[in-house]
């Protein structure tokens, strides 16, 4: 299974959960715990956008399709915009960007496990049973795969801390007495 599918499904399910919370009388959808999880969901969907745009779009044969733009650009950027504009600031903890790496790391471990042992068919993947070329150890060998994964991981972590820093600022005016 592609990470794109999983991250978009995660956004769908989490958005459904947020809508449910909004129907309640309390303001639970803006609680620190919910917003911290939403930060992780935001980072999870943004890696879909960034990795696709930088690594996969240049080799995509079906680039100009509505579903491609929806799941790789529109949903990620809309969710990021929603998080940046509508969520309360100063809700994240310093270690949240580290914990947000867990989903992509679990996916990478699963994708490699599938490629080596399960061999579940990945539809339309030229690197089957690996979903993405940069995970195909058989074709590119371990040094290449490790290097690509480390670059993606470090970039994800750096942008996670940048995202944390941006959401740590409050742009609301303080009331003076």
28 vs 99, residue with greater confidence: 99
121 in helix, strand or coil? coil
**What does the buried/exposed string (b/e) look like for 117-146 if buried means 16 or more CB atoms within 10 Å of the residue's CB?**
eeeeebeeeebebbbbbbbbbeebeeeebe
| Distance (Å, whole) CA 79 – CA 47 | 12
Q: In whole angstroms, what is the distance from residue 80 CA to residue 29 CA? A: 16
> What are 71-90's pLDDT values in tens digits?
999 999 999 999 999 999 99
Tens of pLDDT, residue by residue over 109-147, are 999 999 999 999 999 899 999 999 999 999 999 999 999
- Beta carbons within 8 Å of 75's beta carbon, 6+ residues apart: 8, 11, 45
Yes or no: say if 50 and 104 are a contact pair by the CB < 8 Å rule: no
pTM: 0.93
pLDDT (average), residues 154-169? 97
Where helices occur in 87-136 by DSSP H, the ranges are 96-99, 102-113
pLDDT over 70 at 177, yes or no: no
Classify the C-alpha dihedral 132-2-6-166 as positive or negative. Answer: positive
Q: Any idea what DSSP says for residue 117? A: I
- What pLDDT is stored for residue 62 in this prediction? 84
pLDDT classification of 161: cutoffs 50, 70, 90:
very high
| Six token digits for residue 142 | 């371990």
- Predicted confidence at residue 91, as pLDDT, reads 96
- Checking if the pLDDT of 174 tops 60, the result is no
- Confidence band of 173 (pLDDT split at 50, 70, 90): low
User: At residue 95, does pLDDT exceed 60?
Assistant: yes
Instruction: Decide which of 76 and 171 is more confident.
Output: 76
* pLDDT tens per residue, range 23-79: 987 888 999 999 999 999 999 999 999 999 999 999 988 889 999 999 999 999 999
Q: Provide the 8-state DSSP code for 23.
A: T
């Amino acid at each position: 299974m592609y990470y794109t599918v999983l991250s978009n499904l995660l956004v769908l399910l989490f958005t459904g959960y947020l809508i449910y919370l909004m129907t309640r009388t309390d303001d639970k959808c803006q609680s620190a715990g919910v917003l911290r999880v939403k930060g992780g969901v935001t980072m999870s969907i943004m890696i879909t956008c960034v990795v696709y745009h930088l690594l996969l779009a240049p080799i995509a044969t079906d680039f100009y399709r509505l579903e491609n733009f929806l799941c790789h650009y529109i949903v990620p950027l809309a969710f990021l915009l929603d998080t940046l504009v509508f969520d309360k600031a100063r809700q994240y903890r310093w270690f949240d960007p580290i914990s947000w790496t867990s989903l992509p790391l679990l996916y990478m471990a699963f994708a490699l496990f599938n490629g080596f042992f399960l061999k579940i068919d990945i539809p339309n993947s030229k690197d089957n049973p690996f979903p993405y070329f940069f995970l195909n150890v058989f074709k590119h060998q371990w040094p290449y795969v490790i290097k690509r994964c480390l670059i993606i991981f470090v970039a994800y972590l750096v942008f996670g801390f940048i995202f944390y820093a941006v959401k740590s600022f409050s742009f609301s005016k303080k009331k003076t007495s």
